[in-house]
Amino acid sequence: MSRLHPRGNHQDSPNEPVPRRRKNALGRDPFEELASPDSATDGFTPLPSGTEPFVEPPLNPEPATQPRAKTRPPGERSQTSESNDAPMTDESTPPVSAEPSRGWLDFLLGEREENLQKAFESLVDAGTRYDRYGFSPTVAKQSFPFFRTLYDYYFRVSSEGHEHLPVDGSAVLCANHGGLLPFDAAMGIVDVALHMDPPRVVRTIVDRWVGTLPWVNIFYARVGQVIGTRKNFTDLLRDDQLVLVFPEGMDGIRKTIRQRYQLQEFRVGFVEQALRNRAPIIPVAFVGNDDQMPILYDIKPLARRLGIPVAPITPTFPLLGPLGLLPYPVSYKIVYGEPLRFEEQFEPDAADDPKLVATLAGQVRETVQKLLDRSRK
Amino acid sequence: MTRVLVTHADSPIGRRIVKTLRSDDSVESVLAVSQAPTPPEFDNRSRGPIPGLSYQRADLAKPRSMRRLFRSPTFESARVDTVLHIPWHGLAPLPPVSGLPRRTAELRLLLKSCREAGTVENFVCLGSAFVYQLLPGNANRLDEGSELDFDPDVGPDIRSWIDCDMMLHEPLNRGPFRTVLLRVPSVVSDDGSVYFNPSVSGRPGPRLRALGFDPMSAILTEKDLTQALLCAIHSRESGIFNVAGRGAIPLSQLARWNQCRSLAVPPALLGWMSSGARMLGNSASLSEEGPHLRYGFTLDTTRAERDLFFRPSVPNELVRQMPPPATG
């Protein structure tokens, strides 16, 4: 019988010492490097004998039959952060033994972002420092200042209607999409994080195509974006998360300048999910996204040939090369509308009726369009 | 009281399972079977008789050896009613047997022998979760009904896992014994070794990785695996069950745990390099090209939790490594 290395072949002794090799820099992704400050990313050592095992509370509790989301009355601010606790943690989490280390990012971010960090931490699986979709609090925290800067100084975002956002429980944020690159989603995430107390992390549903893009797929996963499958959507809502969807899908980002701020056909899956999981739908209007990179013409045959969703011609692209893909520093406005509580009007079984679901999706589309038109005035 | 035969009992996972079974009050005896000479911990001669444990050497892929095992006095006296099959799970290619990959040949012969023996009532087998078809993205949440990867270009290692999986469908549907198939993701042992992962398990050496991709890997600790196997042995349910722990980690981190050098190459070259390495006889250390190098998955263990009462835990070691949460 051939002798193979004990680490990989079970026919050898497991007790044989394995020499540690020096770390290799080959093939590491930049986002992997970002996550390296986590102590959990280093190799772990075996537990001393006799250590009590950590028992995890059940994940994904059954969906409540009653609507769970509560909205905050205007002007009232939450006094506690308990409502945003993770479904993955409870009192059985090992006690805190030391003060957390404070780096330059902490000084840069301030108190609000410390709370945001707690919100980030609450999403990950205890033990692995990632959630099941690949979200990493470390990467999210490190990229937050960049998007915060864009939010404050580049897009100069103003927003209103935060009182409609639930302080806890699940909700589906349904918004218009546009502008070729999804800065609207990024600004929405930053806005919710900054204006909610305690901060909440918005999980955006993205197209499966994103998963095929090198590096982009890693970054998207690390900052909490989730590929839009039925199962993932259900799990996110069952975990009481805020889910941001763009029901126009790719049609939203390839709108030409003549179609700007005109909503395209809505997909209906989000309504079905909201009904089944008893979540309210909150219409959201993004003003500015359709101006950040107006598409003059979409060369559809070229896009099909290249296997990309859009082959745009903008005033600056391809004229200025890759630089032409930079969004223009337009002013963003985000408006959150009143929640549409279909879950109070219909039973979960109503999600099985495609006609009803399509009608409700049409209602949502109409509401978002009205909100958008009103916000632009 | 259950009397269990454990195959590949000399593997690290096998040893742990045998040890756990011996300490289980509802297990009367354990017959450990392996191709290797008697491991010291199973050796009756050097340490005296070990109550409830016997060891038999057999090559599971050879009909003659299997006949000898199933007709041996050890097997007769053990009165085995449950067979726990831990398939061969190293990555190093072993020579095929009768034109079949060794893993497939072993399972085929074992199933045949169990049918002929007539005394076996339960057949519990470990399978791989890498048999599922993966779609782009990290968020493939897979349950038992998810589609298997029947792509003809799938690598030989994963194909043999799929073959084993399919082979178990017959006893699952028709008997004659209760059959349980546990599909497991990457199994992580206490010392950081990784098994059952076609990307990082196996002999040390460079691992191919798709440049710009770092898929999430569902993980299962050895301890949880043992718990799942015990649940499967003692349950009355039959069927296919996904078994995984709570956590998921990126492939790059898993490779680091296993002390593998990961070599990121453009996805277009992965297939070429993988084939080239196989032709040069180096497929033992290079990972197999496949969607698992780009796209991650986690397992929905609801069915195992409901029917087998399997309760996955957070890996203790990882919890210890967590930085304390912020206070104040």
Q: What is the pLDDT of residues A205-247, one digit of tens each?
A: 999 888 889 999 999 999 999 998 888 999 999 999 999 999 9
Chain A residues with CB inside 8 Å of B13's CB? 10
* pTM, 2 dp: 0.78
Is the CB of B324 less than 8 angstroms away from the CB of A14?
A: no
Chain A residues with CB inside 8 Å of B256's CB? 23, 41-43
Domain assignment present for A74: no
Q: Which of A231, A208, A235, A211 is nearest to A221 (CA)?
A: A211
**From CA B290, how far away is CA B275, in angstroms rounded?**
12
Residues 6+ apart with CB under 8 A from B97: B61, B62, B105, B106
Domain assignment present for A193: yes
**From CA B62, how far away is CA B213, in angstroms rounded?**
41
Nearest to B212 among A29, A114, A226 (CB): A29
Domain assignment present for A87: no
Residue B24 pLDDT? 84
Name the stretches of chain A with pLDDT < 70.
Answer: 1-113, 125-127
Residue B60 pLDDT? 85
Is the CB of A100 less than 8 angstroms away from the CB of B325?
A: yes
Q: State pLDDT tens for residues A76-92.
A: 443 333 333 333 333 34
Give Cα separations from A10 to A175, A265, B126, B203 (angstroms).
53, 56, 15, 10
Domain assignment present for B78: yes
Domain assignment present for B120: yes
Tokens 């070429």 -> residue: B272
Domain assignment present for A80: no
Is the CB of B250 less than 8 angstroms away from the CB of A208?
A: no
The residue segments making up the domain with residue B47 are 2-189+219-247+297-315
Both A264 and A251 in one domain: the answer is: yes
Tokens 């898929």 -> residue: B215
Chain A residues with CB inside 8 Å of B252's CB? 28-29, 32
Element (H, E) at B181: strand B178-184
Domain assignment present for B195: no
Is the CB of A7 less than 8 angstroms away from the CB of B139?
A: no
A-B contacts at Cβ under 8 angstroms: 250
Give Cα separations from A167 to A23, A86, A137, A361, B141 (angstroms).
44, 14, 20, 24, 28
Both A206 and A320 in one domain: the answer is: no
Nearest CA of chain B to the CA of A122: how many Å?
Answer: 9
Nearest CA of chain A to the CA of B321: how many Å?
Answer: 5
Nearest CA of chain B to the CA of A172: how many Å?
Answer: 19
Residue A104 pLDDT? 58
The DSSP 8-state label assigned to residue B179 in this structure reads: E
Element (H, E) at A203: strand A202-206
Domain assignment present for B194: no
Domain assignment present for A151: yes
Domain assignment present for A95: no
CA A362 to chain CA centroid, nearest Å: 25
Both A158 and A194 in one domain: the answer is: yes
Nearest to A4 among B90, B137, B190 (CB): B90
Domain assignment present for B108: yes
Q: Are B104 and B164 in contact (CB under 8 A)?
A: yes
CATH code: domain of residue B35: 3.40.50.720
**From CA A64, how far away is CA A131, in angstroms rounded?**
23
User: CA-nearest residue of chain B to A228?
Assistant: B139
Task: Give the CA count within 13 Å in the CB-facing half-sphere of B157.
Answer: 29
Domain assignment present for B139: yes
Domains of chain B: total? 1
The residue segments making up the domain with residue A303 are 296-326
CATH code: domain of residue A161: 3.40.1130.10
Q: Which of B211, B132, B137 is nearest to A132 (CA)?
A: B137
Nearest to A127 among B137, B203, B322 (CB): B322
Give Cα separations from B61 to A209, B65, B94, B100 (angstroms).
44, 8, 11, 10
By DSSP bridging, strand B239-242 and strand B261-265 are unpaired
Is the CB of B92 less than 8 angstroms away from the CB of A8?
A: yes
Domain assignment present for B261: no
Residue A117 pLDDT? 80
CA B68 to chain CA centroid, nearest Å: 25
Residue A80 pLDDT? 35
Domain assignment present for A322: yes
Task: Give the CA count within 13 Å in the CB-facing half-sphere of B217.
Answer: 32
**Burial (0-12, 13-18, 19+ Cβ within 10 Å), A216:** middle
**From CA B217, how far away is CA A245, in angstroms rounded?**
26
**Burial (0-12, 13-18, 19+ Cβ within 10 Å), A148:** middle
Q: Are B298 and B216 in contact (CB under 8 A)?
A: yes
**From CA B258, how far away is CA B193, in angstroms rounded?**
5
Domain assignment present for B258: no
Both A306 and A256 in one domain: the answer is: no
Both A338 and A309 in one domain: the answer is: no
Both A246 and A365 in one domain: the answer is: yes
Tokens 């493939």 -> residue: B140
Domains of chain A: total? 2
Name the stretches of chain B with pLDDT < 50.
Answer: 319-320, 322-328
Instruction: Give phi and psi for A283, each to the nearest 5.
Output: -70, 140
Both tokens assigned to A368: 């978002």
Both A307 and A175 in one domain: the answer is: no
- Written as one string, the DSSP assignment of A285-352 is EEESTTTSS-BSEE-HHHHHHHT-S--EE-SSTTTTGGGGGSPP-PPPEEEE---B-HHHHS-GGGGG
Both A227 and A348 in one domain: the answer is: yes
Cα separation of the two ends of chain A: 79
